[in-house]
Amino acid sequence: MLSMAGSSVDKYGKDQTGKITYNFDTYGFREGNDYNTRPSVVFFGCSHVAGIGVKANERFTNYFDDSWNFGLFGAYTEEELLVNYNSFKKKYDDHKLCKIVFCWKSTDIDQLKSFITSIGDYENIYHTVPVNFKLDKYKLMRNLENIDYDISGTHYGPRSHLKFSKLLWHFLK
């Protein structure tokens, strides 16, 4: 993502329509993070989190006040979510004061369990997963199935983002 730092493009990842402008901040994440304020919720995840194919203001993360979005686009590994999370923890000493949400894309339950347990069972950490399973002491929520699709026809559309934000809001209470 760092390669996109400070740039704007109208085609990215699976969205090749040219109908949405993707603006990237100085760290290479999609616009919207206010690094001058402490976030209330921080999201780590895939292109659903980044909001591929929807306008920046339609992403589910934008329905949370003072949230930061570290969603990744394109080809990456789940390990990169952990790298981003560890970088976030090092930079922000008060990271335990905000809620942390990981939105995983892997459907490999053993791999998911490994990632989730490597983070720890801190009170402020939540996980959304694409498959059903339980893991004692960890807060897990099943990802939402698409209600509608984005402009490229491959990811959550605006209605799916809105519905997912409502489900997440209840999950984070």
Q: Cα separation of 172 and 110, whole Å?
A: 25
DSSP code at position 2? G
Residue with tokens 């209600």: 147
* Gyration radius (Cα) of the chain, Å: 15
Helices of type H across the chain: 47-50, 78-91, 109-119, 158-172
Separation CA 168–CA 173 (nearest Å): 9
The range of the structural domain enclosing residue 140 comes to 2-172
Q: What is the DSSP string of 111-140?
A: HHHHHHHHH---TTEEEEESS----TTSEE
In tens digits, what is the pLDDT along the chain, a chain of 173 residues?
668 899 999 998 889 999 999 999 999 999 989 999 889 999 999 999 999 999 999 999 999 989 999 999 877 889 999 999 999 999 888 888 899 999 999 999 999 999 999 998 789 999 999 999 999 999 999 999 999 999 999 999 999 999 999 999 999 98
Quote the number of domains for the chain. 1
Q: What is the CATH number of the domain that holds 7?
A: 3.40.50
Return d(Cα 1, Cα 19) in angstroms, integer: 21
